[in-house]
Structure 1
Amino acid sequence: MNALVIARRDLASYLQGYSAYVIIASLLLVNGLFFEAFALGTDKARYSHEVLENFFYLGWGFAVATAVLLTMRSLADEHALGTEVLLRTSIVSDAQVIVGKWLAAMGMVTIYSALTVHMPLLIFVHGKVAPAHILVGYVGVLMGGGVAAAIGVFCSAVFRNQLAAGIIGGIISIYTSVMAWMLSEVVEPPFSDVVAYTAIFNQHFVPFMEGRVTLSSLVFHGTITALFLLLSTQVLNGRRWE
């Protein structure tokens, strides 16, 4: 329950400030422009499911960006505002603090994703796509956002400066999104398989993008999210004794 209290507090903080609105509005604008240019704005005829897959291709990246940009302030902000001491001395456990921060970020990622739903609905109305494909695609987007939010909370726990937390969180997210797959192409086996497995997009999001749910993808997303939340808890626990 304490985690939910922290989540509500942080979610209210996001909604009462202006930065979250600026971030979400900016990303929605760019996402819409990219969708128009790359998913719709082409002379080549495409099947509806291909357009939908392109939408989720873009949507996943922007959901990850939303999570990283919002979470860079989650714990760094506590230090800047001087409320970090209250968290350290409260009866709330470190794990509850971390989970609460993550849930608040996921609330904002969900809001962002919900504001994009008109785009796949346009594809549904004017084309032929299964509602299940849309639902599964959004599940993948939210799971990708969950991983990025966990990475962001971890970086915010490690770095007390928001900018540093955002930059490192972005680098880690870019690595797991794109660079891991590129690196696997130049690394010799069997290490190439290990590196490729860490590529979230190519290895684990593509099934969701195509409307398929695989157990391995669910387990991978859940494991990576839990790992970074656990690491964040350990960092916060170490800070409690400084």
Structure 2
Amino acid sequence: MKIAVIGGTGLIGSQVVKKLNAAGHEAVPHSKSTGVDVITGEGVAEAVADADVVVNLTNSPTFDEASAVFFRKSMENLLTAGEKAGIRHFVVLSIVGVDQVPELDYYRAKAMQEELLAAASIPYSIVRATQFMEFMDATMSWTTNGDTVRLPATPIQPIAAGDVADAVAEVAAGAPLQGIRNVAGPEVFPLDELGRVTLAARSDSRTVVTDDTAGMFAQVRGDVLTGKEDARLAPTRYADWLASR
């Protein structure tokens, strides 16, 4: 199959392209650097013109209310082009529990992206993943002040980006789900404890203080960001991922 991977040069997209090509498909990466702009629409029709499958891995450059504008416009452009081209399968990467955190602008925007896809005429699949292990440094940086990192005890089930790419590639190469597949890492941690584990593994002298008002994840209620019974568990454990870095 020929698969257009939009956002195919990023953290997940570059790995998805590699995995699909290794499996014998023709996966083509598209991004701003290749002349495809999902907001202006430049290059979009050409990118999907002869593809069987479109995988959308683009992401908003911000996490605030502007993210809704990004996801709406990009999906409208991609879906319009995909419908005209006769795309047989459209895949989007989303977030486990995305529809259960309405307090967060970014999560509302991602939930809207899912709704736009489900309402379109193209057969589709949504892959929802838990929080990426690769994002832990950024998460800590948001709430670091000097030698102190403030983190809430929000339950998190981190997954390695490579495992997310495996899940996306598998779904893209298969029949449309007409629904959602949840994937998650093999272990659940309170976010504050995950911060302590990360710093200890790196001999980082900063101290994690539990603060259930700190950062974006303070607005998450309960364990909605963890995989439930239907989630497929990825193999990579956090300690092993840390050791490999």
- TM-score category, normalised to shorter length: 0.3 to 0.5
Structure with higher helix content: 1
TM-score by length of 1: 0.33
TM-score by length of 2: 0.33
